[in-house]
Chains A and B, each alone.
Chain A
Amino acid sequence: EPEVTQTPSHQVTQMGQEVILRCVPISNHLYFYWYRQILGQKVEFLVSFYNNEISEKSEIFDDQFSVERPDGSNFTLKIRSTKLEDSAMYFCASSLTHEAFFGQGTRLTVV
């Protein structure tokens, strides 16, 4: 069964460093998303991406964040200068219609 793949599963980074979280969505999907879950809290929408551009973003998705689909298969989330409060689980998802398929997540720890 097709699945969304995220790498790495866990990343530790120093405050102020740049990180790139990587995702391989399901191959025929058209819509791509990033969500964040701070430990013990709800899953929050960050950004959606369609037709090679951002279709919607939340207030969380400020200038420190960017997304890219550099080729036909990868979808990346970049955090330019990480802060302690960026520590969270980041989920990538993709969809063809209504149903989003989620990856297993990348746990980002900023120290």
Chain B
Amino acid sequence: AQSVTQPDIHITVSEGASLELRCNYSYGATPYLFWYVQSPGQGLQLLLKYFSGDTLVQGIKGFEAEFKRSQSSFNLRKPSVHWSDAAEYFCGLVKEYGNKLVFGAGTILRVKS
């Protein structure tokens, strides 16, 4: 069965610093990969997705993620974090379309000024 691991439960970064959130997946083939963001009390907003092709994908709000097949990873990055980026971030995997999205446990990002 497919699974997603986000090793970091909490991460704190200073405003203006770079950010990398880790995501590892377990699946026998190349899955469809997603990053969602959830602000407190809010729904899930899609940041970016990877289906195929270029392994570096750009998303909204200045985020990007890189798919590395050899490491089964799909890490999320941002060069300069803003205070408004404080939220919880979920990595997700779909094995084929119409199938459920499997989420990681989430990483809570805190931004200090």
B63 at interface, CB cutoff 8 A: no
Residues A97 and B106 in contact, CB atoms below 8 Å apart: no
Q: Which listed residue, A31, A35, A98, A102, touches B51 by the CB 8 Å rule? A: A98
Residues A55 and B98 in contact, CB atoms below 8 Å apart: yes
- Residues of A97-111 whose CB lies within 8 A of B: 97-105
B interface majority secondary structure:
loop
A interface majority secondary structure:
strand
Q: Which listed residue, A43, A95, A102, A103, touches B97 by the CB 8 Å rule? A: A95
A65 at interface, CB cutoff 8 A: no
Residues of B within 8 Å of A45, CB to CB, are 100-103
CA distance A55 to B97 in the complex (A): 12
* Interface, chain B (partner A; CB < 8 A): 32, 34, 36, 42-44, 46, 49, 51, 90, 94, 96-106
* Interface, chain A (partner B; CB < 8 A): 30-31, 33, 35, 41-45, 48, 50, 55-56, 91, 93, 95, 97-105
